[in-house]
Structure 1
Amino acid sequence: MDYFEQLGVSRSSTTIDIKKAYRKLANKYHPDRNDSVEAKEKFQLIQQAYDVISDPKKRALYLKQNYTVITDPREVADSFWHSAFN
C-alpha cells in the first residue's frame, strides 16, 4: 500500500499536514487505546508510513523509487543498459 494513502494525505502535503494525520490515526489505533489485533497491525503500518514520508530525504527516495515519471526515453535506455552490464 502507498504510504500517503496509509496516512490519508496527498503527495504534496506539508510535513505539518503529515504530522497531524499521523497523530490522529496514531491516537485511534494505538495499542494502549484500542485492544483489537487489527489496530496493532494498523498502528505499525501507520508508524512505518510516517517514518518514511515525514523525513524529507526518505520521502524523496520513496517518491523516486515508487513514482518516477519518465520524461526522457534516454533515461530508460541508460538505466536498462546500466543494469544489464552490472
Structure 2
Amino acid sequence: MDHFELLGVTRTSTTTEIKKAYRKLANQYHPDRNNGEEAKEKFQLIQKAYEEIADPQKRTAYIKSTYTVITDPREVADSFWHSALS
C-alpha cells in the first residue's frame, strides 16, 4: 500500500499535515488503546509510512522510487513495443 494513502494525505501535503494525520491514526490504532491484532499491524504500518514520508528528503526519495514520471509519451510507447516484441 502507498504510504500517502495509508496516512490519508496527498503527495503535496505539508510536513505539518502529514504529522497531524499520523497522530490521528496513531492514537486510533495504538496497541495500548486498541487490543485487536489488526490494530497492532496497522499501527506498525502507520509508523513505517510516517518515518518514510515525514522527512522531506526521504519523501522525495520515496516519491522518485515509487512513482514514474513520464516526461515524453514516446518513451512509454517505445518501452511497450519493445517488451511486446521481445
Query: What's the CA shift for 1:70?
Result: 2.1
- Identity within the alignment, %: 69
Instruction: Give 5+ residue unaligned stretches, structure 1.
Output: 78-86
Paired with 2:68 and 2:17, the residues of 1 have a C-alpha distance of 23
Q: Tell me which residue corresponds to 1:46.
A: 46
Alignment of 1:37-76 (within 5 A): 37-72=37-72, 73=75
Instruction: Give 5+ residue unaligned stretches, structure 2.
Output: 80-86
Counting matched residue pairs gives 75
Paired with 1:33 and 1:25, the residues of 2 have a C-alpha distance of 12
When normalised by structure 1's length, the TM-score is 0.82
Other structure's SS at 1:10 match: coil
Describe the superposition over 1:15-63 as per-residue Cα deviations: whole angstroms up to 9, x where unpaired.
0000000000000000000000000000000000000000111100100
When normalised by structure 2's length, the TM-score is 0.82
Q: Which amino acid is 2:25 matched to?
A: L
Query: Runs of 4 or more off by more than 3 Å in structure 1?
Result: none
Query: What's the CA shift for 1:68?
Result: 2.3
